[in-house]
Amino acid sequence: MSIATTMKNSTAIAIGGFDGMHIGHQHLFAELGEHGTIVVIETGYANITPKEERENFSHYPILYLELDEIRHLDGDAFISLLKSEFPKLKKIVVGYDFHFGKDRKYSFEDLKTLFSGEVKVVEEVTLEGDSIHSHKIRAKVKIGDIKGANDFLGHNYTIMGALVAGQGIGKKELVATINIEATGFLTPKEGVYVTLTRIDDEEHYHPSVSFVGHRVTTDGSFAIESHILDGEVICNKKARISFVSFIRDNKKFDSIAELKKAIKSDINIASQKLKLLQL
Ligand SMILES: Cc1cc2nc3c(=O)[nH]c(=O)nc-3n(C[C@H](O)[C@H](O)[C@H](O)COP(=O)(O)O)c2cc1C
Ligand SMILES: Nc1ncnc2c1ncn2[C@@H]1O[C@H](COP(=O)(O)OP(=O)(O)O)[C@@H](O)[C@H]1O
Residue 263 in contact with ligand 1 by CB distance below 6 A: yes
Whether residue 202 lies inside any domain: the answer is yes
Are residues 42 and 108 located together in one domain of the fold?
yes
Whether residue 147 lies inside any domain: the answer is no
Which range among 5-9, 54-58, 65-69, 131-135 shows the weakest confidence by mean pLDDT?
5-9
Q: Which of 113, 129, 145 is the last residue of a domain?
A: 129
Q: Please, which pLDDT band fits residue 279 given cuts at 50, 70 and 90?
A: low
Are residues 106 and 13 located together in one domain of the fold?
yes
Tell me the mean pLDDT in the region 59-88. Answer: 94
Whether residue 215 lies inside any domain: the answer is yes
Are residues 106 and 166 located together in one domain of the fold?
no
Are residues 220 and 123 located together in one domain of the fold?
no
Q: Which of 114, 129, 144 is the last residue of a domain?
A: 129
Per the CB < 8 A criterion, the answer to whether 30 and 6 are in contact is no
Over residues 156-182, the pLDDT tens digits come to 999 999 999 877 776 677 899 999 999
Are residues 254 and 170 located together in one domain of the fold?
yes
Please tell me the predicted confidence (pLDDT) of residue 216. 96
CATH number assigned to the domain comprising residue 9: 3.40.50.620
Q: Is the pLDDT of residue 184 over 90?
A: yes
Q: Does residue 226 or residue 279 have the better pLDDT?
A: 226
Are residues 122 and 164 located together in one domain of the fold?
no
Please tell me the predicted confidence (pLDDT) of residue 212. 98
Residue of 19, 26, 28 to mutate, ligand 2, most atoms within 8 A of C-beta: 28
Q: Which atom of ligand 2 is nearest to the CA of 17?
A: 18
Tell me the mean pLDDT in the region 171-197. Answer: 94
| Residue-range definition of the domain harbouring residue 183 | 156-278
Please tell me the predicted confidence (pLDDT) of residue 170. 65
Q: Which of 94, 129, 164 is the last residue of a domain?
A: 129
Distance CA 24, CA 21 (A): 8
72-81 burial, b for 16+ CB within 10 Å, e for fewer? eeebeebbee
Mean pLDDT, the chain, whole residue set: 94
Question: What is the layout of strands, in order, in the sheet containing 12-16?
Answer: 62-66, 36-42, 12-16, 91-95, 118-122
Are residues 74 and 162 located together in one domain of the fold?
no
Distance CA 177, CA 180 (A): 10
Whether residue 143 lies inside any domain: the answer is no
Please tell me the predicted confidence (pLDDT) of residue 211. 98
104-120 burial, b for 16+ CB within 10 Å, e for fewer? eebbbebbeebbeeebb
Please tell me the predicted confidence (pLDDT) of residue 104. 83
Are residues 161 and 267 located together in one domain of the fold?
yes
Are residues 207 and 247 located together in one domain of the fold?
yes
Residue 215 CA to ligand 1 center (angstroms) comes to: 6
133-142 burial, b for 16+ CB within 10 Å, e for fewer? bbebbbebbe
Q: Which atom of ligand 1 is nearest to the CA of 266?
A: 1
Residue 154 amino acid letter: G
Residue 58 in contact with ligand 1 by CB distance below 6 A: no
Residue of 31, 97, 140 to mutate, ligand 2, most atoms within 8 A of C-beta: 97
Whether residue 144 lies inside any domain: the answer is no
Backbone angles phi and psi of 28, in degrees to 5: -70, -45
Whether residue 227 lies inside any domain: the answer is yes
Residue 100 C-alpha from the chain's centroid:
23
Residue 169 in contact with ligand 1 by CB distance below 6 A: yes
Tell me the mean pLDDT in the region 260-270. Answer: 97
Are residues 104 and 206 located together in one domain of the fold?
no
Q: Which atom of ligand 1 is nearest to the CA of 248?
A: 8
Q: Is the pLDDT of residue 22 over 70?
A: yes
Residue 277 C-alpha from the chain's centroid:
21
Q: Is the pLDDT of residue 76 over 80?
A: yes
Are residues 222 and 173 located together in one domain of the fold?
yes
CATH number assigned to the domain comprising residue 220: 2.40.30.30
Are residues 99 and 184 located together in one domain of the fold?
no
Short-list 245, 74, 75, 227, CA closest to 150: 245
Q: Please, which pLDDT band fits residue 6 given cuts at 50, 70 and 90?
A: confident
Q: Which atom of ligand 1 is nearest to the CA of 176?
A: 25
Whether residue 232 lies inside any domain: the answer is yes
- By percentage, how much of the chain surpasses pLDDT 70? 99
Whether residue 273 lies inside any domain: the answer is yes
What is the count of structural domains for the chain?
2
Q: Which atom of ligand 2 is nearest to the CA of 97?
A: 27
Residue of 178, 214, 218 to mutate, ligand 1, most atoms within 8 A of C-beta: 218
Tell me the mean pLDDT in the region 11-30. Answer: 98
